[in-house]
Chain A
Amino acid sequence: MFDAADALLLARLQFAFTVSFHFIFPAFSIGLASYLAVLEGLWLWTGKDRFLDLFRYWLKIFAIAFAMGVVSGIVMSYQFGTNWSVFSDRAGPVIGPLMAYEVLTAFFLEAGFLGVMLFGMSKVGPRLHFAATCMVAVGTFISAFWILSVNSWMHTPTGYIMGDNGQFLPGDSWAAIIFNPSFPYRLIHTVIAAYLTTALVVGGVGAWHLLRDRTNKHARTMFSMAMWMAALVAPVQIVVGDLHGLNTMEHQPAKIMAMEGHYESHPQGHAPLYLFGIPNDREQRLDYAVGIPGLSSLILNHSLEAPLAGLDSVPDDEQPPAAIIFWSFRIMVAIGMAMLGLGLWSLLARMRGRLYEWHWLHRAAVLMGPAGFVAVIAGWVTTEVGRQPYVIYGLLRTADAVSPLDAPAVGASLLAFILVYTAVFGVGIWYILRLMSSSPHHPEARVGEAEDGPIRTAGITPAGQRLRQGEGGREAPHPGAEGD
């Protein structure tokens, strides 16, 4: 049934599917690991039970999200070789070492300390446990550092020399490869996106429980913390995103043209900022365009008069598909603005002393709960589809990078990934939602304990629960602070 289909297209679909599904989890766990470190630090500092309860509440969710991130991430590390073997052979000497550094400095760190973070509180004591939590949080950031460096190098390749055998070889300086021109922008933009995504989830969950019981202290704390994050970081993200866009304009102008829907050049400037339109790649024009005259020139060139090139200056076979990224870009920006709005709204409520009273604010926060994931995926679609038709920008075309595999092999594996991911991760996300719907309370159960019913009478799984039950008592940094 797959013979007619194109092996290349199937390989691209498979990569898009598996990487999109994968990125949902790190986008969440990068932010959540830091949030957990903050919660545990606040608990150690203030001795307040509420922070330990919140720590445990989110740790159970983190455990599931992290496991799904790990197993879907291993798929990614092998998929370069299975489906993009020509790319792997040719780019391996340059990007392979960076990925090896990711494993050595990040994956082992996260995995090594995760066990202690999840199960080791009673064995190592609160302070060492806090150190383990911090190690996991730092590990998620280091991981982002290396993999985004690799990704950025594929967008803005620098510091390489071409080998006689067609391989990209490292030049004199590894710093020139690692700190390639788009890397700093992409790193900051992505990490902030992960923090915002997590803040929206935490805020959404807090708001959900405030709507059910506005006196819930735990829900108040998490809602307040999340809204601070949204109010302070969303504006920063918009500025960083703008800088990232200007960097893209310098290195990948065709991507910006497609994002803006600028098929036509504007030699005299005054390029409009299109708010709406249906990109028509075949006819090379934006149908039903609605735009604000001159605004795009102001944003991109900071000048009304400077000339702005359009896709008509780019050969057809070097253009990215504008139909996709025109819209993915708008979705991302719209959600970013909504985050800013939510943050400002919460500031207003806070100033009036009504942060825990305004139901419409809470409803909006619930609605925005999953919005960060949509924005993150839309952003990645924009940047990755926007660099087509290249996998190493300007140097190696995606079509030339693919493995010599038969279409049925790739089709079958794509089908298997879709079935397994949808089923397994669908169930996992449902488990996470179920944990989120249980209201945070005191004392919060630990990882591995049933949420329903008193811990000591849950007799179905004695070993597992007794094992973790044994952790009680010694956990409080201040004796007697926790009524366990």
Chain B
Amino acid sequence: MNVNIDLTTLWAFIIAFAVFAYVVMDGFDLGIGILFPTIDAGVERDRAMNSIAPVWDGNETWLVLGGGGLFAAFPLAYAVLLPATYPLIIAMLLGLVFRGVAFEFRWRDPAHRPLWDAAFCGGSLMAAMAQGMILGAILQGIEVEGRAYAGSWWDWLTPYTLLTGLGTIAGYALLGACWLVWKTTGKCQDHAYRMAFKAALITLMLMAGISLYNLFLFEQYRERWLEMPNILFASQVPLLTAIIAYFLFRGLVKRWEVWPFALSLVLFLLGMAGLGVTIWPYVVPDTVTIWEAAAPERSQVFMLVGVAITMPLILGYTGWAYWVFRGKVGEEGYH
């Protein structure tokens, strides 16, 4: 049993890693989609799009690993969470359909490019909002009976989930803007600096709001964050967030090129840590723990072998693909 507990914890961290990788990597793709209407049509938009065209597909694959991994390692959680957030999942998937095809279609059909640009933005917005609301719907609690979801199909819609949805949109916009700061020059970069500043402000305000709201959701959340001795550890998360936020704003004002993106990644990492502090060890708050939802040891071991072998390779060739397309986008096209 001891071994199983360790394996289950390990798997919770692997899934969390996949989700985090998805959130930050597709986060900047979706963020560029969210910011698309504010970017000038023509050269600037093409450049923004080209900065992610070679990598978006790989980034999106982490979402399949997150979902597929949850299915494999925590089948009960997968079977409860997905029906509970049904309309949100469908909205996210349809949003990703529009976003994904727009990459190809806008080049194929110059006459209808504004239409596919709108699909790119609308799809990104819809996917981001849905993902944020899914997170909120899980955090605010889900009704379970036996091994199944027992609520109705509108339970997920609350002021809290609207807040988490908007927070995700703002956070993705921040990532997208910082990515553009890194990958572009000139007018596009100037614009990205301005948008990153605004997005950072909104993201931090919504993060603070959601964190406070959390304290009123479950007794456990309050204990984790406010009672001694938990508060000594937990309080490090908001403290670090404040420090990172300071450097992020400073970097944006001083026009550092790479650091804003790195700092916004750290901001997301802290958000993830806060999430972990809040919900651990539950996968459905107050109802299903990771051990109750876990697949048997044999399934976990079999997959762990796969992860141990393939993950270094995946990280290797994904890193290589990014390396191939390194540098500022668009410059090499001018000779």
Which A residues are within 8 Å of any B CB, using their own CB?
A: 63-64, 67-68, 70-75, 77-78, 80-82, 85-86, 88-94, 96-97, 99-105, 107-116, 118-120, 123-124, 135, 163, 165-167, 169-170, 174, 403-406, 408-409, 412-413, 416-417, 420-421, 424, 427-428, 431, 434-435, 447-448, 450, 460-470
Q: Which 6 A-B pairs have the closest CB atoms?
A: A92-B75, A96-B72, A115-B54, A81-B82, A466-B333, A89-B79
CA distance A71 to B330 in the complex (A): 27
> Contact between B80 and A85 (Cβ–Cβ < 8 Å)?
yes
Given A85-B79, A403-B83, A467-B330, A75:B299 Cβ within 8 A: no
Q: What residues of chain A lie closer than 8 Å to B107, measured between beta carbons? A: 447-448, 461, 464
CA distance A94 to B105 in the complex (A): 38
In the complex, B174 has a CB within 8 A of chain A: no
CA distance A479 to B90 in the complex (A): 51
In the complex, B81 has a CB within 8 A of chain A: yes
Given A74-B63, A82-B90, A431-B105, A99:B324 Cβ within 8 A: no
Shortest distance between the CB of B133 and any CB in chain A (Å)? 15
Binds A, one of B143-151, B198-206, B236-244: B143-151
Q: What residues of chain B lie closer than 8 Å to A420, measured between beta carbons? A: 94, 97-98
> Contact between A85 and B317 (Cβ–Cβ < 8 Å)?
no
> Contact between A67 and B101 (Cβ–Cβ < 8 Å)?
yes
Residues 116 to 169 of chain B near chain A (Cβ within 8 Å): 147-150, 152-153
CB pairs A–B below 8 angstroms (9 shown): A71-B100, A88-B82, A104-B311, A119-B54, A170-B299, A406-B152, A413-B87, A420-B97, A467-B46
Partner of B330 from the list A99, A114, A135, A466 (CB cut-off 8 Å) is A466
> Contact between B97 and A463 (Cβ–Cβ < 8 Å)?
no
> Contact between B71 and A96 (Cβ–Cβ < 8 Å)?
yes
Shortest distance between the CB of B92 and any CB in chain A (Å)? 8
Shortest distance between the CB of B58 and any CB in chain A (Å)? 4
Shortest distance between the CB of A136 and any CB in chain B (Å)? 11
Q: What residues of chain A lie closer than 8 Å to B152, measured between beta carbons? A: 406
> Contact between B97 and A424 (Cβ–Cβ < 8 Å)?
yes
Number of inter-chain CB pairs below 8 Å: 270
CA distance A75 to B314 in the complex (A): 23
Given A169-B296, A464-B49, A103:B64 Cβ within 8 A: yes
> Contact between A463 and B299 (Cβ–Cβ < 8 Å)?
no
A92 and chain B: residue at smallest CB distance: B75
Shortest distance between the CB of B334 and any CB in chain A (Å)? 6
A75 and chain B: residue at smallest CB distance: B93
> Contact between A113 and B317 (Cβ–Cβ < 8 Å)?
yes
Which B residues are within 8 Å of any A CB, using their own CB?
A: 42-44, 46-47, 49-50, 53-55, 57-58, 60-61, 63-65, 67-69, 71-73, 75-76, 78-83, 86-87, 89-90, 93-94, 96-98, 100-101, 103-105, 107-110, 147-150, 152-153, 295-296, 298-299, 302-303, 306-307, 310-311, 314, 317-318, 321, 324-325, 329-330, 332-335
Partner of A405 from the list B47, B83, B303 (CB cut-off 8 Å) is B83
Q: By CB atoms of chain A within 10 A, which of B80, B94, B299 has the most? A: B299
Partner of B296 from the list A67, A73, A93 (CB cut-off 8 Å) is A93
Partner of A463 from the list B46, B68, B150 (CB cut-off 8 Å) is B46
CA distance A254 to B80 in the complex (A): 34
Partner of A108 from the list B103, B105, B147, B310 (CB cut-off 8 Å) is B310
Sample of 4 further A-B pairs with CB below 8 A, known A85-B78, A416-B94, A462-B43: A67-B100, A167-B296, A170-B298, A463-B47
A402 and chain B: residue at smallest CB distance: B83
CA distance A463 to B94 in the complex (A): 29
Q: What residues of chain A lie closer than 8 Å to B334, measured between beta carbons? A: 466, 470
A172 and chain B: residue at smallest CB distance: B298
Q: By CB atoms of chain B within 10 A, which of A89, A113, A135, A431 has the most? A: A89
> Contact between A89 and B147 (Cβ–Cβ < 8 Å)?
yes
Q: What residues of chain B lie closer than 8 Å to A101, measured between beta carbons? A: 303, 306
Shortest distance between the CB of B327 and any CB in chain A (Å)? 10
> Contact between A108 and B318 (Cβ–Cβ < 8 Å)?
yes
Shortest distance between the CB of A114 and any CB in chain B (Å)? 5
CA distance A93 to B313 in the complex (A): 25
Given A64-B104, A74-B64, A96-B72, A120:B325 Cβ within 8 A: yes
> Contact between A67 and B83 (Cβ–Cβ < 8 Å)?
no
Q: What residues of chain A lie closer than 8 Å to B82, measured between beta carbons? A: 78, 81-82, 85, 88, 403
Partner of B96 from the list A74, A120, A165 (CB cut-off 8 Å) is A74
Q: What residues of chain B lie closer than 8 Å to A114, measured between beta carbons? A: 57-58
Q: What residues of chain B lie closer than 8 Å to A94, measured between beta carbons? A: 299
Q: What residues of chain A lie closer than 8 Å to B44, measured between beta carbons? A: 463
B151 and chain A: residue at smallest CB distance: A404
> Contact between A82 and B314 (Cβ–Cβ < 8 Å)?
no
Q: What residues of chain B lie closer than 8 Å to A404, measured between beta carbons? A: 83, 148-150
CA distance A468 to B150 in the complex (A): 53
> Contact between B310 and A88 (Cβ–Cβ < 8 Å)?
no
Partner of A104 from the list B65, B75, B335 (CB cut-off 8 Å) is B65
Given A74-B60, A92-B295, A107-B61, A460:B110 Cβ within 8 A: yes
B116 and chain A: residue at smallest CB distance: A427
Q: What residues of chain A lie closer than 8 Å to B53, measured between beta carbons? A: 115, 118-119, 448
> Contact between A111 and B57 (Cβ–Cβ < 8 Å)?
yes
Q: What residues of chain B lie closer than 8 Å to A467, measured between beta carbons? A: 46, 50, 329-330, 332-333
> Contact between B333 and A463 (Cβ–Cβ < 8 Å)?
yes
A460 and chain B: residue at smallest CB distance: B110
> Contact between B110 and A461 (Cβ–Cβ < 8 Å)?
yes
A64 and chain B: residue at smallest CB distance: B104
Q: What residues of chain A lie closer than 8 Å to B63, measured between beta carbons? A: 74
Shortest distance between the CB of A456 and any CB in chain B (Å)? 12
B100 and chain A: residue at smallest CB distance: A71
Q: What residues of chain B lie closer than 8 Å to A412, measured between beta carbons? A: 87
A177 and chain B: residue at smallest CB distance: B302
A458 and chain B: residue at smallest CB distance: B110
B55 and chain A: residue at smallest CB distance: A115
> Contact between B110 and A78 (Cβ–Cβ < 8 Å)?
no
> Contact between A81 and B71 (Cβ–Cβ < 8 Å)?
yes
Partner of A123 from the list B42, B72, B325 (CB cut-off 8 Å) is B325
> Contact between A100 and B321 (Cβ–Cβ < 8 Å)?
no
CA distance A123 to B322 in the complex (A): 12
> Contact between B101 and A406 (Cβ–Cβ < 8 Å)?
no
> Contact between B75 and A93 (Cβ–Cβ < 8 Å)?
yes
B298 and chain A: residue at smallest CB distance: A170
Q: What residues of chain B lie closer than 8 Å to A403, measured between beta carbons? A: 82-83, 86, 148-149
Shortest distance between the CB of A336 and any CB in chain B (Å)? 32
Q: What residues of chain B lie closer than 8 Å to A72, measured between beta carbons? A: 97
> Contact between B71 and A88 (Cβ–Cβ < 8 Å)?
yes
Q: What residues of chain B lie closer than 8 Å to A109, measured between beta carbons? A: 317
> Contact between B105 and A461 (Cβ–Cβ < 8 Å)?
no
Partner of B306 from the list A100, A462, A466 (CB cut-off 8 Å) is A100
> Contact between A78 and B101 (Cβ–Cβ < 8 Å)?
no
Q: What residues of chain B lie closer than 8 Å to A108, measured between beta carbons? A: 58, 61, 65, 310, 314, 317-318
Shortest distance between the CB of A16 and any CB in chain B (Å)? 16
Q: What residues of chain A lie closer than 8 Å to B105, measured between beta carbons? A: 64, 427-428, 431
Q: What residues of chain A lie closer than 8 Å to B295, measured between beta carbons? A: 92-93, 96-97
Q: What residues of chain B lie closer than 8 Å to A448, measured between beta carbons? A: 53, 107
> Contact between B108 and A124 (Cβ–Cβ < 8 Å)?
no
Q: What residues of chain A lie closer than 8 Å to B302, measured between beta carbons? A: 97, 170, 174
